[in-house]
A = this chain, B = another copy of it.
Amino acid sequence: MKRRKRLSAKSYVEGVLKGDRVILSQAITLIESSLDLDQNLGDEVMDAILPYTGKSIRIGVTGVPGVGKSTFIEQFGLLLVEKGFKVAVLAVDPSSQSSRGSILGDKTRMEELSMDQRAYIRPSPAGTTLGGVSAKTREAMLLCEAAGFDVILIETVGVGQSEIAVKAMVDFFLLLMLAGAGDELQGIKKGIVEMCDALVVNKADGENIDEAKKAKRVYSNALHLFPMRENGWSPKVLTCSGLKGNGLPEVWEVILQYKSMMLSNGYFEGNRSKQRVSWLNEHAKYLLETAFYKNESVQSVLASSLQEVESGKTSAIKVARALVKLFINQETENEE
């Protein structure tokens, strides 16, 4: 592992609040670390920056691989920085460790946006569980807010779990679609449509324009079949071209319209309140699991019973039960 210079909590906090991008990156690396020393320092930094968070608009962007998320986010991000906003892009992709890109090779990702001084792009944190990845993404989001970013775009890939995780941390959730690719193949399950605030038909350019417009009509009709939402918003259907840029200003208009409506009817804050509670729960689970595996007795019994579990002589369920019991008792002895 590369040796990394650790700053004091104060230096991290000051650097982040000043908007220093290098220190912001170092602070995110710190909170992503699983070392005890880093975690305690990270907690201190998070506690200090929390009062400076919450002022951005948090936007989730999802859609199946191939829908053009990267291009959309790059062009949308460039539009926003031109409007004078500072834009941060984060990713939630727990599968990214084992599967980098498609079978046909990686594509270039957001080159132009990544070179813009008003933008900040942070790839998906390494992690094996969605819980871990989303805990760290949420903290990265707060660090970006403390560093003065006005718009946070959170990209997610997949059809299910990671969308639920991202929905739980954003104000606005945008689903990118393709015209004519078949609903099922695009993972358009009722649940995902129900959670999106705008459905955007991407790649509406060249010969695709008519198809895209047709798809827009179909989706608009389909969305009317859903019951009215509690917050009074009816999800909007739009077309755009991430590649050519048309339709992107309209997407931003819809987001602003949503924000203004939610601010005035109280649902903006209401949603964030609920999210804080889900954050509490997620974070507790994450801490619990981390403490469990760091416990020395757990590690030692795990090591000694491993062979019997491997061979099937002892049941995995029984050892799991014994370990959890041991952990709960052992931890207190250490405290006393």
Q: Give the interface of A toward B (CB within 8 A).
A: 43, 46-47, 50, 54, 64-67, 93-95, 98-104, 130, 139, 157-162, 164, 178, 181-195, 222, 272-274, 276-277, 279-281, 283-289, 291-292, 302, 306, 309-312, 315-321, 323-324, 327-329, 331-332, 335
Contact = CB atoms under 8 A, between A and B. Distances in A.
A280 B320 contact: yes
B277 A102 contact: no
Contacts of A292: 284-285, 288
Number of copies of chain A assembled together: 2
Given A103-B188, A272-B312, 15 more contacts: A65-B185, A65-B187, A95-B161, A99-B189, A100-B191, A103-B190, A139-B317, A158-B160, A158-B187, A161-B162, A277-B316, A280-B316, A283-B316, A283-B320, A328-B332
A46 B64 CA distance: 39
Given A158-B161, A309-B280, A98 B191 contact: yes
Contact of A102 (B65, B183, B281, B321): B183
Contacts of A164: 95, 98
A329 B327 contact: no
Contacts of A289: 285, 288-289
Nearest to A307: B273
A315 B130 contact: no
A309 B276 contact: yes
A336 to B, nearest CB: 9
A106 B280 CA distance: 35
